[in-house]
Structure 1
Amino acid sequence: MRPATSIRFSANRADFFSTLNHRVNDYFKSNNISRYANAEMKFKTVFMYVLFFAPYILLMTQTVTQGWAMWLLTLVMGTGVAGIGLSVMHDANHGAYSNKSWVNNLIGYSLNVMGAGAFNWKVQHNVLHHTYTNIHDVDEDISPRGILRMSPHGNWKAIHKFQHLYAWFFYGLMTFVWVIHKDFARLIRYQKDGMVKKQKANLAAEWAILIATKLIYVGYILVLPMLVLDITFGQWFIGFFSMHYVAGFILAVIFQPAHVIDGSEYPLPDAEGKMENSWAIHQLHTTTNFANKSRWFSWYVGGLNFQVEHHLFPNVCHVHYRKISSIVKQTAEEFDLPYKAEPTFSGALMGHAKLLKELGKRPAMQVAQA
């Protein structure tokens, strides 16, 4: 991976973001609205936790004992895991849930409650992805993953010719792998890369938090069910895997089309590490909205279909994205800058599949060398 500190964004056309920032701030001020969570957001927080824990309680109290019904409840829990990830912990770990840091930190640990690690997520998502979106060898969201090629600058393998077909299966493994392996591997890598130090974090404390919360997760998700319920380990594993498969698939198909979609751009720094555009303009070139007219869809996915607004204003709670989107679009058009949006979610998925297929083709350079 390229060191993130070696990349610098241009200062050209800085007036775009200063103008946009002024207009968005004026919207909140003139309407006397907080940019943080409102009543809708607080209700959603409770709803998403209930979506996860209500089925868990039904299982643990043996209110539901039929095998097929128990399995269905694990699928519902999976939608709860994804909902908490999309709509609750995401805002909190961006500092957008509350103007109080302790509230953001507390709610941000929703991720740990779901079995993952908030610190790792902040480094991977807030720092590497949000700052260096779609930049090869820095943005881990498009980093090489062996069987998936998410960037035209990544190494090509023959198997990639079929990735537009098999990627969908592997998307479901995302949180499963994350919980049992990726958190540990990432913290080790961030330690070696110096990212832990750059975040001014205490390495020992982060390891202690990660291990302790993993043990708590194992306790309530594995140990208690095996002690209380009349099930085999195999039956438990089917439920656990199914829950994470649903969660992983939902999260993947929401996040991937925002940056890996037909028309996506993958800018590279020059030899000295300088990018052509400013950070804000870079976000417009590498980010795409989708299904913005669907209110129920936006509600469940935490406004992440307004990905342009989210990348430009990650410290604004997602319940406000719909309102500020017209400001962002108008300002981008005034400055003759792109504002990418796909009308429907199905269209976004098709655009994602189209780019996966294109990225799966053997690069012309390798064809010439063969």
Structure 2
Amino acid sequence: MNYKAIKFSRTNQAEFISDLRKRVKTYFDSNEISVYGNATMVTKTVAMFLMYFGPYVLMLTGVITQPWLILLMWVIMGFGMSGIGLSIMHDANHGSYSKNKKVNKILSYVMNLIGASSFNWKIQHNVLHHSYTNIEGVDEDIDPGILMRLSPHAKHYRLHKFQHIYGWFFYAIMTFLWLTSKDFVQLNRYKKMGLIKGQKRTYRSVLIETIFSKVAYYAYALVLPLIFIQAPWWLIVVGFLLMHIITGLWIALIFQPAHVMPHSDYPIPDNIGNMENNWAVHQLFTTTNFSPKSKLFFWYVGGLNYQIEHHLFPNICHVHYKRISKIVRETAKEYGLPYNLEPTFVSAIASHARMLKSLGQIKTV
């Protein structure tokens, strides 16, 4: 079904989001707090960039030459890269990092800086995923192709029986797909869907931007290290691969347990595109929070363990999610709505693994 045909209910518990927005607004107004980033966000930004570029500079300048330390630097860069994506790029692309639109636009391009396309991310994530969460055929986050089945409405293949085993490998190589084919495939698909014009861009300009970004990324992230780092070429390639494996796993293990879970709903529209619930209620039924007590985890993953708050308020910077989560949870309870929560990151991964196994069976869940 065309995404344009999907219409959420305007009457089914529509007062929930209206009431919730008023309460959240009252929280910010009464505490005289901006919904955008603060000093904590700026400090985190500096820390993430240092985690990524610090080891890079140490290797290129010859400060670090021992093989095992070089590999360690690439590993640290992997955590820095995923941290930049989760904590900086994500908020910037949602326009919640800063009140200044230019700052958001500049920081959104760190996606290109780490080898992917900010433009494609905005469409896949902001437009399709956030608007139509867990709706088969529209939400691309649950449509990785035939190799994995992330929705009970997706076609089943025999190999899916083992996806709870091999799926982690495909999560690990996710960023390699971004570096090679995925962005170009997506761009052509979005052109056919008319989504490029909706972003006030032309296909040609985005294509040129994407090609240039990838060439620039490979030049500084792989070619320069091969030239200047005092180590065997294969060691540098291994380090480069390690960096992307870490990044791919972290991104997948943060986003996938938020929606592909045993208690997640996968609502489908009726024959004319109508959904049973309004958009906000739909988010509650399809989204899960996890590990709410870990301050370090919250800091590193950009508050994305509070996915419910993020989906309901993507225009609010993640540094505020922990504070407003109590308001969201209590309001959901008042309206008899779910507030899905996994106590730890480990339990969330375990539940996601069970869901992968369940979806790998022939019967739908």
TM-score tier after normalising by the smaller chain length: over 0.9
Structure 1 residues not aligned, in runs of 5+: 366-370
Deviations 1:84-139 (CA, angstroms, capped at 9, x unpaired): 01000000000000111111000111111111110000000000000000000000
Aligned equivalents of 1:196 and 1:26: distance in 2? 37
Higher mean C-alpha displacement, 88-97 vs 206-215: 206-215
Alignment of 1:160-175 (within 5 A): 160-175=160-175
Offset, 1:41: 0.6
Equivalent residue, structure 1, for 2:179: 179
CA RMSD of aligned residues (A): 1.3
1:297 aligns with 2:297: yes
Offset, 1:355: 0.7
Percent identity reads 52
When the two structures are superposed, what TM-score results if normalisation uses the length of structure 1? 0.96
Aligned equivalents of 1:128 and 1:233: distance in 2? 41
Alignment of 1:189-268 (within 5 A): 189-268=189-268
Aligned equivalents of 2:76 and 2:339: distance in 1? 35
Alignment of 1:72-91 (within 5 A): 72-91=72-91
Question: Does structure 1 retain, via aligned residues, the 8 Å contact 2:133–2:139?
Answer: yes
Question: Does structure 2 retain, via aligned residues, the 8 Å contact 1:283–1:312?
Answer: yes
Alignment of 1:1-370 (within 5 A): 2-12=1-11, 13-363=13-363
Aligned equivalents of 1:206 and 1:320: distance in 2? 33
Offset, 1:263: 0.7
Offset, 1:203: 2.2
Aligned partner letter, 1:238: V
Structure 2 residues not aligned, in runs of 5+: none
Question: Does structure 2 retain, via aligned residues, the 8 Å contact 1:144–1:155?
Answer: no
Question: Does structure 1 retain, via aligned residues, the 8 Å contact 2:62–2:230?
Answer: no
Question: Does structure 1 retain, via aligned residues, the 8 Å contact 2:24–2:327?
Answer: yes
Aligned equivalents of 1:352 and 1:229: distance in 2? 40
Offset, 1:231: 4.4
Describe the SS at the equivalent of 1:264. Answer: coil
Offset, 1:364: 6.9
Higher mean C-alpha displacement, 11-20 vs 232-241: 232-241
Deviations 1:257-289 (CA, angstroms, capped at 9, x unpaired): 000011111000000001000000000000000
Aligned equivalents of 1:310 and 1:74: distance in 2? 30
Aligned equivalents of 1:52 and 1:259: distance in 2? 28
User: What is the number of residues matched between the two proteins?
Assistant: 364
When the two structures are superposed, what TM-score results if normalisation uses the length of structure 2? 0.97
Aligned partner letter, 1:354: R
Offset, 1:233: 4.3
Offset, 1:232: 4.9
Offset, 1:235: 3.1
Question: Does structure 1 retain, via aligned residues, the 8 Å contact 2:35–2:316?
Answer: yes
Aligned partner letter, 2:224: L
Question: Does structure 1 retain, via aligned residues, the 8 Å contact 2:149–2:160?
Answer: yes
Aligned partner letter, 1:11: R
Aligned equivalents of 1:67 and 1:111: distance in 2? 29
Offset, 1:217: 1.0
Aligned equivalents of 2:310 and 2:151: distance in 1? 22
